[in-house]
Amino acid sequence: MNVNPELIASVVAQILAEGSAKGAGEPKPVPVGISNRHIHLSRKDLDTLFGEGYELTPLKDLSQPGQYACKELVTIVGPSLKPITNVRVLGPIRKETQVEISRTDSFVLKVKPPVRESGSLEGSAPIMVVGPKGVINLDKGCIIANRHIHMSLEDGAAYGLNDGDYVDVEVQGERRTKFYDVQVRVNKAFCLEMHVDTDDANAAGLKNGDIVTVVKR
């Protein structure tokens, strides 16, 4: 019997996909987490701002495992020379320092940060950071974080989504709206949550814990 190998491969792929979908479970509701301006510090920059060998002081755990807000605060300064004070440091320390602000903040500072995925810092905006023990002048590192949804492996399977996919997200309520081009980030260490900054949250009338609807493309 002559059987087309491509047809066999297609049928097998369909069977595997259907089996995976059946075993994935029902998708969970997606809660919202609102990110205010904050900074992630490298070891070198932490030493400069707070003193050699300084260790961050955890204040409270964040929704994503291993991430936490710290007691430490810094001031950020742009070309306007109008400082924004009390910018929260988030831990743990990272390989590179990253400052995340809103578009509204950028107008105050007179900086032009790109909308980026966390960690994508090449070509991002320069900014000055002032701490109690020193000052750093970053030639890059200031961004506006893109809208994104954290998913565990199980959540990704339930939604039929992979790391790096993009979806649209509908928001109900008094200021009903729709967010486009929301990045999906899937990792075994993640907990299900959509992250938006304060500008997006205010525009849509969102608060922490509100539920939004994922619309696959």
What domains are defined for the chain? 25-32+147-215 (2.40.40.20), 36-145 (no CATH)
What pLDDT does 109 receive?
Answer: 98
Q: Is the pLDDT of residue 82 over 60?
A: yes
What pLDDT does 11 receive?
Answer: 56
What pLDDT does 21 receive?
Answer: 47
* 123 exposure class (CB count in 10 Å sphere: 0-12, 13-18, 19+): exposed
Instruction: Give residue 81's pLDDT band: very low, low, confident or very high (50, 70, 90).
Output: very high
**Average pLDDT along the chain:** 92
What pLDDT does 157 receive?
Answer: 96
What pLDDT does 13 receive?
Answer: 54
- For the segment 45-59, the average pLDDT, to the nearest whole number, is 98
What pLDDT does 71 receive?
Answer: 98
Q: Tokens standing for 173?
A: 């309520």
Torsion of CA 24, 29, 35, 39, to 10 degrees: -20
* Cα 136 from Cα 49, distance rounded (Å): 7
* Cα 47 from Cα 10, distance rounded (Å): 56
Q: Tokens standing for 184?
A: 């999906």
The count of residues in the chain is: 217
% of residues, the chain, pLDDT over 90: 86
* Cα 183 from Cα 45, distance rounded (Å): 29
- For the segment 9-29, the average pLDDT, to the nearest whole number, is 61
* Cα 62 from Cα 70, distance rounded (Å): 10
What pLDDT does 111 receive?
Answer: 98
What pLDDT does 17 receive?
Answer: 52
- For the segment 74-99, the average pLDDT, to the nearest whole number, is 98
Q: Is the pLDDT of residue 151 over 80?
A: yes
- For the segment 156-182, the average pLDDT, to the nearest whole number, is 96
Instruction: Give residue 37's pLDDT band: very low, low, confident or very high (50, 70, 90).
Output: very high
Q: Is the pLDDT of residue 210 over 50?
A: yes
Q: Is the pLDDT of residue 89 over 70?
A: yes
Contact of 88 with 73, CB cutoff 8 Å: yes
